[in-house]
Amino acid sequence: MECPVCGSDCVQSAPEILKSLPTRFLPCAECSMRVLDKRAPLPALKYAAPCSCGKRFIDEVFAHMYVIMREEGDLTSRDPLIAVGSPLIHPGFAMDQPPFLPAKSLLLLSGKVHENAARRIVAEVPEVRGVVKTADFVPGLVSHDLDTVPRVYTLLAGCDVRADIYPLATGPLVVYKQQSLIHIEFPRAGYPKLRSVAAHVGKPPVPFFVDACSGPGTLGLAAACLGVPHVVMNDAWYASAFWSAFNIEVNRAYFDVGEVRIYGHLGDMARNPVVREPVKIAETVGRQVIEVYQGDFRNLDRVIPEDAHPVAALDIFGKNNQKEVSSLLRDWQGRMGGDAFIP
């Protein structure tokens, strides 16, 4: 599959990426393992090369990046190893032990890195797929108040597309996202959002499910994997709507569809990043109908049939504000009917 960000083959279908997963981050018999103190500076500006199998322990990869950032002036001799930044593994899933990284399996998020070091890291550290400059905010649309102006991180070098893997009763779900544009959400133990979706979908599955604030599509795709005949995913933020659509194609082997039609293109959608009136971004053709819209979830009654009475997940920000959450749920059910829940 062609990556919509860099144009290379750095994205794969779900069956392809899952095929190599059992051994992807495991060492071979020849791999070495040096555990470093993350809270202290690197003892010496040295690092080991990857093993002949092509993998290297994550601490050694950080040592390599630390040396480059010291040489480029992004770090000082007093900075600890952890100052390099935050690693996002590709693909991401719950691990029992630190990984041995193969090529292009790590995305670095760093508030200290600058472009020269970022370019060197991508060119010289084989495990790194991209480097993103972070700041003190959450990227993307972080409120259902669409008057807020979204901010994003900066991709300095490489590609920032990566996947997370989510367990379902029907098999693992693969969800790609462009990490500079979409907030990081680490799954809580036991994946309570997915369990909530499964409980509301039921057996046999409900006929219609809406993922009203879809992000990259995790909950809507989970409902589709669980057999819901008609699924609608929606997000006002262009990157979320696009990746919801793209992830249908990634996981299409699990759906009862013959064709995935994607109408929105990432570059074109970026020119109008926040949309209020729902615009169809993608749809499937086949026995199972999966649709993606970009728009304000409060306007979905304009595209969802009156008699649909869907089960809807409203994965909104600000869930601690019970008064506002209750108001949004009442408003949704007044417009759409059916059953709405906060996952």
Task: Give dist(CA 267, CA 76) in Å, integer.
Answer: 38
Q: Phi first, then psi: give them for residue 265, nearest 5 degrees.
A: -115, 140
What integer is the mean pLDDT of 221-248?
98
Fold of 188-341: Rossmann fold (3.40.50)
* pLDDT given for residue 325 in this prediction: 86
- Name the residue ranges covered by the structural domains of the chain: 14-158, 188-341
Q: Structure pTM? A: 0.94
Answer yes or no: is pLDDT of 190 > 70: yes
Q: Which helix (H) or strand (E) holds 257?
A: strand 257-262
Quick: pLDDT tens for 103-127. Answer: 999 999 999 999 999 999 999 999 9
pLDDT-based confidence at 94, cuts 50/70/90?
A: confident
What integer is the mean pLDDT of 260-276?
95
Task: Compute, in degrees rounded to 10, the torsion defined by CA atoms 148, 291, 340, 278.
Answer: 40
What integer is the mean pLDDT of 25-53?
97
Answer yes or no: is pLDDT of 186 > 80: no
The token pair that represents 50 in the structure block: 């990857």
* pLDDT given for residue 185 in this prediction: 78
Q: Phi first, then psi: give them for residue 62, nearest 5 degrees.
A: -65, -35
Task: Compute, in degrees rounded to 10, the torsion defined by CA atoms 106, 91, 269, 246.
Answer: 150
* pLDDT given for residue 187 in this prediction: 65
Answer yes or no: is pLDDT of 322 > 90: no
Percent with pLDDT over 70 in the chain: 99
Q: pLDDT higher for 103 or 1?
A: 103
* Eight-class DSSP state of 327: H
Q: Is residue 50 a contact partner of residue 56, using CB atoms and an 8 Å limit? A: yes
Q: Is residue 320 a contact partner of residue 309, using CB atoms and an 8 Å limit? A: no
Q: Phi first, then psi: give them for residue 31, nearest 5 degrees.
A: -65, 140
CB under 8 Å to 146, separation ≥6 — which residues? 236, 274, 276, 296
* Eight-class DSSP state of 237: B
pLDDT-based confidence at 313, cuts 50/70/90?
A: very high
Q: Is residue 263 a contact partner of residue 281, using CB atoms and an 8 Å limit? A: yes
Farthest CA pair distance, the chain: 68
pLDDT-based confidence at 320, cuts 50/70/90?
A: confident
Residues present in the chain in total: 343
Quick: pLDDT tens for 129-183. Answer: 999 999 999 999 888 778 888 999 999 999 999 999 999 999 999 999 999 999 8
Amino acid at position 35, single letter = V
- C-alpha torsion sign, points 209, 212, 218, 221: positive
What integer is the mean pLDDT of 195-218?
96
pLDDT-based confidence at 75, cuts 50/70/90?
A: very high
* pLDDT given for residue 88 in this prediction: 97
β-bridge partners, 141: none
Window from 22-31, 183-192, 194-203 with minimum mean pLDDT: 183-192
pLDDT, averaged across the chain: 95
